[in-house]
C-alpha cells in the first residue's frame, strides 16, 4: 500500500481506542484502499467489494483517489475537503489507475487533482485540498442528535435475521436479504429506527446509523482515517433520497458527485454517528447531505452527494 505512516498526528484521536481484542488489521487498510505505485503520482488500485449493481462501489474509488492525493503532500498538511464527479461507471473486472496532478503548493493550503482511469478514459475526477493545522478562536457547530448508543442497537446482520424471521415477508425480499448476508462489506453498521423497506410505505427522507470500519486501523495516521471515512460515507448514503418514494419500483440509480469536508480529527475504526437527510429530489435527481459525529458530540465530517434515479411510472402494489 502507499505508505502514509510517516504522516502521523499524535493528537488525531479523542481518547483511547475501544477495546476490540478479536479484531485483526482492517481489510480497508490491507486490501480495499491498497494502491500499487507505478510511477511518480501514478498508482494502480484493485477492488474488494462490488455491490449488486455490478459497478464499482463509489466509496472505494473516492477513498483510493484520496490515498493517491495524500501520498503527494507533505507530512504537515491534512485533507480538509474533496469534491468528486463520477463520470462513468466503474468496471469491477479491471484495475483502476489513479493519476495525480499537483495543482498548487501554498504556505497553508495545497491542491491536488486525481483522475481514476479505466479502459483509457476517466471514471472519476477528484479535487482535494489540504491544509496545515491552524488554531482559530472562530469555532461553532450544530449539536449532535440524541440517539441510543451503538451497544443498545441491532447490527446490520441481526436486523437481516429479524426480517427473515417474519413469515409474511415476500419471497423476493427474502432472496434479496440472503444475498446481502453473503456480502463481505468491511464496515459495521447499526441503524437507528431502521426504515421498513419492504412494506413500500413512503417515509421521511432521513436516516441515522452508527458506523465504523471493520477491524483495527490505529491512531497513528490521520490521512488513512480520512480515506477510510471517504469509503464509509458512500455506503447507503444516496438511498436516503428514496425513502419518501418506496412505492415506486427503482429501475436505475447511480451517484453523480460526492463532496466531503473534514472538520475535526477522528478514528474511522471507532463508532461514529452518520446522520443523513435529503432536502430535495426532482428532475430524476436527488440530493443528500450527511454528518459524521464522534461519540463525544464533535462534528468530524460533513458530506453531500447527488444521484440520478429512474423509476417506473406505475408503482407496484405491495402484497404484504
Give the residue numbers annotated as catalytic, written as ranges. 234, 255, 305
Cell digits for 306?
447527488
Q: Give CA–CA dist 275/289, Å, rounded.
A: 8
Conformation bin of residue 151: beta by default, left when phi > 0, alpha when psi is -120 to 50: alpha
Cell digits for 42?
501514478
159-166: long-range contacts, CB 8 A cutoff, minimum separation 24 = 159/191, 159/194, 163/198
Q: Which residues touch 35 (CB under 8 Å, ≥6 apart)? A: 1, 2, 43, 44, 45, 64, 67, 68, 71, 98
Three-class DSSP category at 208: strand
Tally of residues, the chain: 320
Contact 292, 274 (CB under 8 A): yes
Cell digits for 99?
493519476
* Strands of 42-45's sheet in order across: 35-39, 42-45, 96-105, 109-118, 121-132, 77-86, 250-262, 299-311, 285-294, 272-282, 206-213, 187-192
Three-class DSSP category at 225: helix
Amino acid at each position: 500500500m502507499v505508505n502514509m505512516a510517516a504522516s502521523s498526528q499524535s493528537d488525531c484521536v479523542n481518547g483511547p481506542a475501544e477495546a476490540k481484542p478479536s479484531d485483526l488489521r482492517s481489510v480497508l487498510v490491507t486490501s480495499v484502499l491498497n494502491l500499487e505505485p507505478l510511477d511518480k503520482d501514478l498508482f494502480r488500485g484493485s477492488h474488494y467489494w462490488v455491490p449488486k449493481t455490478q459497478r464499482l462501489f463509489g466509496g472505494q474509488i473516492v477513498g483510493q483517489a484520496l490515498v493517491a492525493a495524500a501520498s503527494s503532500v507533505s507530512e504537515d498538511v491534512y485533507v480538509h475537503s474533496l469534491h468528486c464527479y463520477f463520470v462513468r461507471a466503474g468496471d469491477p473486472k479491471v484495475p483502476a489507475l489513479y493519476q495525480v496532478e499537483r495543482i498548487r503548493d501554498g504556505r497553508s493550503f495545497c491542491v491536488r487533482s486525481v483522475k481514476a482511469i479505466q479502459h483509457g478514459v476517466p471514471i472519476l475526477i477528484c479535487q482535494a485540498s489540504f491544509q496545515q493545522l491552524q488554531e482559530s478562536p472562530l469555532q461553532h457547530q450544530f449539536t449532535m442528535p440524541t440517539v441510543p448508543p451503538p451497544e443498545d442497537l441491532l447490527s446490520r446482520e441481526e436486523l437481516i435475521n429479524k426480517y427473515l424471521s417474519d413469515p409474511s415477508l415476500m419471497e423476493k425480499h427474502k432472496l434479496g436479504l440472503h444475498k446481502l448476508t453473503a456480502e463481505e462489506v468491511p464496515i459495521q453498521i447499526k441503524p437507528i429506527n431502521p426504515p421498513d423497506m419492504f412494506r413500500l410505505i413512503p417515509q421521511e427522507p432521513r436516516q441515522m446509523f452508527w458506523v465504523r470500519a471493520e477491524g483495527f486501523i490505529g491512531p497513528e495516521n490521520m490521512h488513512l482515517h480520512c480515506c477510510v471515512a471517504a469509503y464509509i460515507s458512500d455506503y447507503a448514503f444516496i438511498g436516503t433520497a428514496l425513502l419518501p418514494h418506496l412505492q415506486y419500483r427503482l429501475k436505475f440509480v447511480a451517484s453523480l458527485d460526492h463532496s466531503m469536508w473534514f472538520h475535526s480529527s477522528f478514528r474511522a475504526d471507532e463508532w461514529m454517528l452518520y446522520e443523513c437527510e435529503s432536502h430535495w429530489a426532482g428532475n430524476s435527481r436527488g440530493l443528500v447531505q450527511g454528518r459524521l459525529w464522534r461519540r463525544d458530540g464533535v462534528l468530524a465530517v460533513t458530506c453531500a452527494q447527488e444521484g440520478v434515479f429512474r423509476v417506473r411510472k406505475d408503482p407496484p402494489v405491495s402484497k404484504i
